[in-house]
Chain A
Amino acid sequence: DVKVTQSSRYLVKRTGEKVFLECVQDMDHENMFWYRQDPGLGLRLIYFSYDVKMKEKGDIPEGYSVSREKKERFSLILESASTNQTSMYLCASSPTDRANIQYFGAGTRLSVL
């Protein structure tokens, strides 16, 4: 079974803090993704990566950055958290040969106060 693990289920941070959300997958997948999920808006892609040290912007990258130093780990960074970044964050991964089949982590619910 593919396992995508997000380091925290719940996180509370203050405005202006630097926030790291970590994601690890154990299936040697090349592709990794970060989404945010908001009621009525579905999932929106923030960033994705198709190889180590490679990254591409998704639909809503503003205010976020990412890091992929190792194949299994994909980090989402909020350089200076703001209240409008309060959301559920989902990480996903997929293999290159079946790139459209994504496997999701349980999500991190981030509250920025």
Chain B
Amino acid sequence: AQSVSQHNHHVILSEAASLELGCNYSYGGTVNLFWYVQYPGQHLQLLLKYFSGDPLVKGIKGFEAEFIKSKFSFNLRKPSVQWSDTAEYFCAVTVSSGSARQLTFGSGTQLTVLP
């Protein structure tokens, strides 16, 4: 079974700082990768996804993530964070097969951006 590790549990940054959140997964086959975000008091929503093709994917609100297959990683980046990026971020993986439906989530990273 696959698993996902997010090593940063809580990250605190000042506005305009650059962000990188780590995500590593364990699975030997082809995967689909996701970042979800949960803003305070809001429901979980998709930030970006990787299925195939260009390993650098861009999502909403200026976020991007790079899939590095050799490192089993899918780190989330943003060059300049804003106070409104304060949220909890979850990395998730699913195996790339026709019947795949289950997402396996990491433990989440709480990002606090100080104004």
Contact = CB atoms under 8 A, between A and B. Distances in A.
Indicate whether A and B interact.
yes
B43 A106 contact: yes
B44 A99 contact: no
Contacts, number: 56
Interface in B1-44: 4, 6, 9, 32, 34, 36, 42-44
Interface residues of A, number: 24
Contacts of A25: none
Contacts of B94: 100
Interface string B77-115: 000000000000010101000011111111110000000
A45 B4 CA distance: 14
Interface of B: 4, 6, 9, 32, 34, 36, 42-46, 49, 51, 90, 92, 94, 99-108
A12 interface: no
Contacts of A94: 101
A87 to B, nearest CB: 14
B44 A100 contact: no
A2 to B, nearest CB: 10
Given A40-B107, A100-B49, A100-B101, 18 more contacts: A31-B101, A33-B101, A35-B105, A40-B108, A42-B106, A43-B105, A45-B104, A58-B102, A90-B43, A92-B44, A94-B101, A99-B99, A99-B100, A100-B32, A101-B49, A102-B46, A104-B44, A107-B43
Contacts of B90: 42-43
B31 to A, nearest CB: 10
